[in-house]
Amino acid sequence: MPGDDALEVLIATKAFALPTRTSHIVLRDIHFTALPGQVVALLGRSGSGKSTLLRIVLGLDTVFEGRVRMPPGRLGVVFQDPRLLPWLTVADNLRLVLVDGAAKTRIEEMLELVGVADAANHLPSELSLGMARRVALARALAVDPNVLVLDEPFASLDRQLGTMLVAKVAERTRRTGCIMLFATHDLDHALMVADRICVLGGHPTTLKADVAVPAQRNAGTIERLRTELVAQFRFLGSEETAQPL
């Protein structure tokens, strides 16, 4: 049994009601845990139910069979839509979630981490989508979360910037003992930072594989694992799944 500080997700079934009064099962038999300091990547095709799964984890969707056990502490979240308050500046969007006295220092630190420190006094309408997503990431990190849930957080970023950010966030996760659960289309990002890769697939979507990534990462080991995963799950090597950021 995982400890109280672990995240445990068990989804027996998740169904959506249809106009015909029947139901359509979208998720089935998904079970995984994540421990403090672990980075877990969720990989699957577009429409495979990754976002639905994350909504269940966050408690935003409670209509399913199963259970989610969330460890105590603070929760940081980044949705595909940045969801910034449009009438507040970038700095004030972060200030809103802070409860400690070191607000100004923490805001500056988080904006610097994601590379948007110069935009602190801008309104969200003045930002590109990629910048807005980075601000949303800074806001999620600013609460010093025990669990960080990210839904395609590095979309709309060029590949070099996305690679840099995912590495920074993963390093911070391990250093602080946070649990990071992120949905992504990018197999290479998952191989670069994740401790485990959970592959979702099938109809309804199930957990097809829960693969440990070797702690000692080198080019040869990661390339072999990549080749094995793509051979087993061909969609992981498709343009749809490994789209550029």
pLDDT cut 70: percent of the chain above it: 94
4 and 96 assigned to the same domain: no
Specify whether 150 is located in the same domain as 240: yes
Whether residues 157 and 221 share a domain: the answer is: yes
pLDDT at position 195 over 80: yes
For the stretch 155-190, pLDDT in tens is 767 788 888 888 899 999 899 999 999 998 889 889
List of residues 6+ apart from 22 with CB closer than 8 A: none
pLDDT-derived band at 241 (thresholds 50, 70, 90) equals very low
Q: Do 181 and 126 share a structural domain?
A: no
Compute the radius of gyration of the chain from its Cα atoms: 18
Cα atoms in the 13 Å half-sphere on the side-chain side of 242: 15
Report the C-alpha gap between 158 and 125 in whole angstroms. Answer: 20
Cβ-contact 191, 213 below 8 angstroms: yes
Residue 14 has pLDDT above 90, yes or no: yes
pLDDT band at 236 (very low <50, low <70, confident <90, very high): confident
Q: For the chain, give percent helix, strand, coil, nearest 5.
A: 35, 25, 40
Q: Where a domain ends, among 115, 144, 173?
A: 144
Nearest to 96 by CA among 80, 110, 81, 113: 110
124-128, 154-158, 194-198, 224-228: range with lowest mean pLDDT? 154-158
Residues 129 and 158 in one domain: no
The band of 20, judged by pLDDT with boundaries at 50, 70 and 90, is confident
Q: Is residue 78 part of a domain?
A: no
- Domain of 10 in residue numbering reads as 1-73+146-245
Can you give the pLDDT at residue 240?
47
- Are 5 and 123 in a shared domain? no
Q: How many domains does the chain have?
A: 2
